[in-house]
Each structure stands twice: as structure tokens, then as C-alpha cells.
Amino acid sequence: QPQLAESGGGSVQPGGSLKLSCAVSGLALDNYSIGWFRQAPGKEREVVGCISNSGSSTKYADSVNGRFTISRDNAEKKVYLQMNSLKPEDTAVYYCAARPDVLRIYYCRGVSEYDYWGQGTQVTVSS
């Protein structure tokens, strides 16, 4: 049974940093691309960014480009989301998701195109 588990969320002041982790089990991770998503209260789930199965390509939403970085360690079966220069509008529950894909990424797929999801981790940015 594939499982994804996010960790690393918490509360941080504006301008601060957090690093989220997504631990993956039950999947051959090197055959899956990973997306990071977030959902704020009263809003739809939106893509933050994504990384190809090999880690050679990444894409980001305009709202986080230049501040967030996705990386992965297939040997450790983990994917990371480094978040810098955090803003109050980054406050949300953050999710990682997996879909089978071994191609280079040119854009991030939508919510419905990911097969497996984690339970989410809360990130709160507030002074």
C-alpha cells in the first residue's frame, strides 16, 4: 500500500524558512514524479511545484518561484520542499502527491492527475 507522509510544518514569522519532508513507502519512487500542493482555508488546493522522477527537472507556481525549492533523494525515498522568505499568504496545509511519470517535466499536473497523497502538514506564517 503506497503511503506518503509529510513532516516539518509549523509556525514561523514572515521572512522565515521551513523545510518540509515527504517520506514515501510502498512505491518505486524513481518511477514517480512528485508534486507539492497547498490548501488555505476556504480556498481550492493549488499546486506549489513539482519534480520529475529523476530530480532533473522542476517547475514552480509563480507565487513561490525563487523562494521555494523542491529536491528529492530517491535512495532515501524522500522529497523535500525548502521554503524561504515566507509570507503570510503562504499559510496553508501542504501536501505531497505522487504520479507515475518518468518523463521530463514541462509543467505541473493538476490535483486530479496525482494518484497518491499524504495527509498534509500545517504551515502558518504570522508575526
pLDDT tens readout for residues 22-55:
999 999 999 999 999 999 999 999 999 999 999 9
Alpha carbon of residue 92 to chain centroid: 12
Length of the chain measured in residues: 127
> What is the Cα–Cα distance from 87 to 66, expressed in whole angstroms?
13
Confidence of residue 21 (pLDDT cuts 50, 70, 90): very high
For 67-78, how does the pLDDT look when each residue is reduced to its tens digit (9 = 90+)? 999 999 999 999
pLDDT at 31: 96
pLDDT at 60: 98
Label the pairing between strands 68-73 and 32-39. Answer: unpaired
For 76-106, how does the pLDDT look when each residue is reduced to its tens digit (9 = 90+)? 999 999 999 999 999 999 999 999 999 999 9
The amino acid at residue 31 is N
